[in-house]
Amino acid sequence: MTRGAFPSRRSRHVRWVYVPSLEGIAPLISGFYSPPRFAVFTRGTGPPATCAAHETGMGYDAKCHPFALCSQTARTGGTAGSRPEPPGLPHSRNCIAMLEDHHLYKAAIEHSPIGIGLCAPKGRFLDVNRALCALTGHEAQALRARDLFDLCHPDYADRTRERVEALLAGEQDALSLETRFVRPDGSTVWVQADLALARAEAGDGQDGHLIVQVQDVTARRLALESLQASEQRLAYVLDGAGLGTFDWSMRVRHVSFNRRTAEMLGYAHDELSTDPQDWFAMVHPQDAVLSVRRIYRHLRGDADSFEVEQRLRNQEGQWVWMSARGRVTQRDALGIAVRVSGTLQDVTRRRAMLDQAHHLALHDPLTDLPNARLLRDRLFVAIQAARRAGSLVAVVFVDLDRFKPVNDEYGHGVGDLVLKATAMRLRSGLRASDTVARLGGDEFVAVLTHCQTRDDVEQTVERLIEQLQAPFRVEGHVLSMGVSAGVALYPSDGRDAQTLIRCADAAMYEVKRAGGNDFGFHASLNYERLMSMRQRGPDPDTDAH
């Protein structure tokens, strides 16, 4: 017997209703009577039939056709073995009202745009409406001869049965699932089936019935599959391009990443924090301010998007260059950004190549010392610092004596090794704040900063000359060469980089003219004589290497 409640207040006195063999619409009707009671009897007039009776005086035959019960039928209560007769019959107006309610209910179910059916506990359809017939492609009579699981595609039938049995076992009150129905023509349709169990009244020995509501969700399912396929293609493209993704929900302080993002930072996907603060904490301190400034400039609406290259600390503690591109994908009614999405790319290799190219543009490829361009930049900075501090800057122009004969006799390979050794000796003899550059050939320039007196400069230059005068051991050869050096001081000899380098060069040539293997200060020389000597040409020992 089926428990239920009928919406009409006029039906509250219904006591006895029989569901004839659970056929036809009678089970649906009985589900709305409260409390439902079933009485079996045989109608006394017309063809013998099992009917339903209730105290409103209405009867229902096996086809659910209503009729008014006569007093004799009510008195006898039906055939032998039937339940007691219903109580006395009320006025006929109640019969008419009950009939109207029933027809209204029938019409609502029959014309519902959603497929509705009633099933026995084993899944067999007891009644169906038009929408369910149209959805499944079966006539109502044919559908009543089948059960719910017969309609399911073989790939989904067992799973559907398992879930329905769990519902019948009382493990849940209702069930919603998506499955595929197979139509008579062989086509399939995706449906969402919502099932509820109308349980029998306790002690009646009757099982409950399944109320099934079915909707065609094929279009939604196809759209979802298309979206998933599109997302998968996008994932393939992003993976192929080596791109990670991020999706930042600002209100809930949550950021999600794809698997590639985690891999670029050396984490497993579930190890990467979803807290935006943890993300910003990974940014290199030198990059953090610029990154935040560009992101929030976009969040305020001052830029269409943001792009920033920053260093992030990976799981091993190393810095990885990452390029982040993103934009606001959702704003609230006030225009405040609530969601930001974008891509991440590991640009460590590209940055290394750019840094290398930049380094090569500013350094000598043989000795890796700064070249003339970087020398001028550093000398300019040193002059500005000395001007503020009131200190000296010394420019030391160094040239190897007798380098050309060594280069000619032993070859350029040995000559290159001598130049590299010279560069190493110069670097090791100076402070980290000083600069050593190679202008070309065997010419080097050292910039000494934070000098207080000329004596300080002289002591440093003497030490450099001693280091360079020591023999070079190269490729089994012991090579001894002299060193000539000229020194110019800021501010006495010049106040700009070009003048100081020219003065130091002139002082070095005067030392060579005097015999070489020594050093001299520009202030001690006759500048005009040095310039005329410079115009006569380079020393024969020099070589444009």
The distance in angstroms from the start CA to the end CA of the chain is 109
Residue 430 near residue 424 (C-beta atoms within 8 A): no
Q: Is 105 helix (H, G, I), strand (E, B) or coil?
A: helix
pLDDT 10s digits, 267-316: 998 898 999 999 899 999 999 999 999 999 999 999 999 999 999 999 99
- Considering the chain, tell me which residue range(s) the CATH 3.30.450.20 domain(s) occupy: 115-216, 227-351
> Which residues of the chain form CATH 3.30.70.270?
363-535
Q: CATH class for domain 115-216?
A: alpha beta
- Establish how many alpha carbons lie within 13 A of residue 44's alpha carbon, considering only the half-sphere containing its beta carbon: 13
* Contacts of residue 90, Cβ cutoff 8 Å, sequence gap at least 6: 13, 55, 56, 57
Q: Which two tokens stand for residue 177?
A: 């699932």
pLDDT at position 526 is: 52
Q: Hey, which residues does 197 pair with through a beta bridge?
A: 210
Beta carbons of 36 and 73 less than 8 angstroms apart: no
Distances (CA, A) of 273 to 26, 129, 251, 342: 60, 53, 17, 17
Residue partners of 221: CB distance under 8 A and separation at least 6: 178, 190
Q: Looking at the domain covering 227-351, what would its CATH class be?
A: alpha beta
> DSSP states of 330-383 as a string?
EE-TT--EEEEEEEEEE-HHHHHHHHHHHHHHHB-TTT--B-HHHHHHHHHHHH
Sheet holding 519-521, edge to edge: 435-440, 443-451, 392-400, 483-490, 519-521
Q: How far apart are CA 14 and CA 34, in angstroms?
A: 7
Q: Is 473 helix (H, G, I), strand (E, B) or coil?
A: strand
Alpha helix locations (H) across 140-275?
A: 140-144, 148-151, 154-168, 218-240, 259-264
Q: Does residue 474 sit in helix, strand or coil?
A: strand
Extract the runs of DSSP E, i.e. beta strands, from 183-242: 188-198, 209-216
Q: For 185, what's the count of Cα atoms within 13 Å in the CB-facing half-sphere? A: 6
Determine which helix (DSSP H) or strand (DSSP E) holds 96, and give its type and residue range. helix 92-110
pLDDT score recorded for residue 139: 93
**Cβ proximity of 443 and 542 under 8 Å:** yes
Whole-angstrom distance, CA of residue 236 vs CA of residue 211: 44
Q: What is the DSSP letter of 453?
A: S
**What CA–CA distance (Å, rounded) separates 116 from 211?**
8
For the entire predicted model, the pTM comes to: 0.53
Instruction: Name the stretches of the chain with pLDDT < 50.
Output: 1-58, 60-92, 202-205, 530, 533-534, 536-545
pLDDT the model gives residue 343: 93
**CATH architecture assignment, domain 363-535:** 2-Layer Sandwich (3.30)
* Residue 178: HSE in the Cβ half-sphere, 13 Å Cα cutoff: 9
Q: How far apart are CA 440 and CA 365, in angstroms?
A: 11
Q: How far apart are CA 526 and CA 441, in angstroms?
A: 27
Query: What is the spatial distance between Cα 473 and Cα 14, in angstroms, rounded to a whole number?
Result: 119
